[in-house]
Amino acid sequence: MSLINSIRQRDRVFDFLAPQGAGDLDTRKGYILYMEDVSVSFDGFKAINNLNLYIREGELRCIIGPNGAGKTTMMDIITGKTQPDSGSVWFGQSMDLLKMKEPEIANAGIGRKFQKPTVFEALTVFENLWLALGGQRSIPRLFNRKLSAEQLARMDEVINLIGLSDLQSSLAGTLSHGQKQWLEIGMLLMQNPKMLLVDEPVAGMTHQEMDKTAELLKGLAGRHTVVVVEHDMEFIRSIAQTVTVLHQGSILKEGSMDQVQSDPKVREVYLGA
Ligand SMILES: Nc1ncnc2c1ncn2[C@@H]1O[C@H](COP(=O)(O)OP(=O)(O)OP(=O)(O)O)[C@@H](O)[C@H]1O
């Protein structure tokens, strides 16, 4: 029996373990994401093939794998962009992500950072974060509203976290590539997501920016669950707790960086040794 099913059945037997109401995230068993027996084909090609992936709440998980291994497709399934042909995907024990649409999944607390930064270049760092608070569709109306003390405190916390407090009045268009990436992570954090999916965060960054990004992501883990897809092995080594290697749509190996790097199959298909 699958992990999510055995947990859910046990919850039905012992009603003191009953899942919370549908809107709440139930991570009492320690897991925030369950993907079980998930498959999806595109024109007969199995991009994801019986994938089983479990992510613990608060962990920093790195996903690596060769081009075409299914990493992006896996994130598309979690965020509701792609519907799998079979399998199940649960956020906590009570939210069936396959029954939810993309915006509902985002609202439930899954934030996704795409590879390219998409900050608003003509707005300041502060305004970008303000915009990310949401609620108002039109920019003039948004900026006419006063921020509550709580919102201001949150802005302050996030600006410090992403290391841009000295640049909060600068236009986002003047930031370096790395700073734009941090700002976008900050914009996601304004929504206080429970889980962050981060796609190739250090592509195009300088070494110094990579080090700062490593510190930022390590600092987010614990309070948030962070899933990072990345090709840069030096960067992965600097942040990795558990590494999952995807290959041909399923897990080839999962473990510590040392376990993964010394695995002959991983070396053959990914590390080129
Ligand atoms: N919408 C789609 N239609 C057809 N084929 C697709 C679609 N999305 C993905 N694929 C195919 O599925 C396979 C997995 O792609 P995916 O982008 O998930 O891999 P990846 O591990 O993210 O690769 P990369 O490291 O290059 O980003 C690839 O062969 C890709 O061409």
State in Å, rounded, how far the first CA of the chain is from the last one.
Answer: 37
Domain that holds residue 134: 109-240
Question: Environment class of residue 72 by beta-carbon count within 10 Å: exposed (0-12), middle (13-18) or buried (19+)?
Answer: middle
What span, in angstroms and rounded, lies between the C-alpha atoms of 107 and 128?
19
How many domains does the structure of the chain reveal?
1
In a domain, 145, yes or no: yes
Ligand 1, atom 18, residue with closest C-alpha: 70
User: Helix, strand or coil for residue 197?
Assistant: strand
What does the DSSP 8-state code read for residue 117? -
What span, in angstroms and rounded, lies between the C-alpha atoms of 38 and 77?
9
Ligand 1, atom 31, residue with closest C-alpha: 68
Answer for the pair 39, 65: CB distance below 8 angstroms, yes or no.
no
Of 158, 209, 167, residue with least CA distance to 188: 158
Q: pTM for the whole thing?
A: 0.88
Q: Residue 115's pLDDT is what?
A: 82
Cross-strand partners of 89: 35
In a domain, 25, yes or no: no
In a domain, 128, yes or no: yes
The tokens describing 46, both together, are 């199995």
In the β-sheet with 31-42, what is the strand arrangement from edge to edge?
45-56, 31-42, 86-91, 95-96
pLDDT interval class at 142 (50, 70, 90): low
Flag the least confident range among 18-32, 67-81, 126-140, 199-213. Answer: 18-32
User: Residue 130 maps to which CATH number?
Assistant: 3.40.50.300
Residue to mutate (ligand 1; options 63, 71, 82; most atoms within 8 A of CB): 71
Structure-model confidence comparison of residues 22 and 151, the more confident one: 151
In a domain, 135, yes or no: yes
What span, in angstroms and rounded, lies between the C-alpha atoms of 11 and 17?
5
How many angstroms does the Cα of residue 69 sit away from the middle of ligand 1? 7
Q: What would the mean pLDDT of 200-216 be, rounded to a whole number?
A: 94
Residue to mutate (ligand 1; options 67, 231, 246; most atoms within 8 A of CB): 67
pLDDT interval class at 131 (50, 70, 90): confident
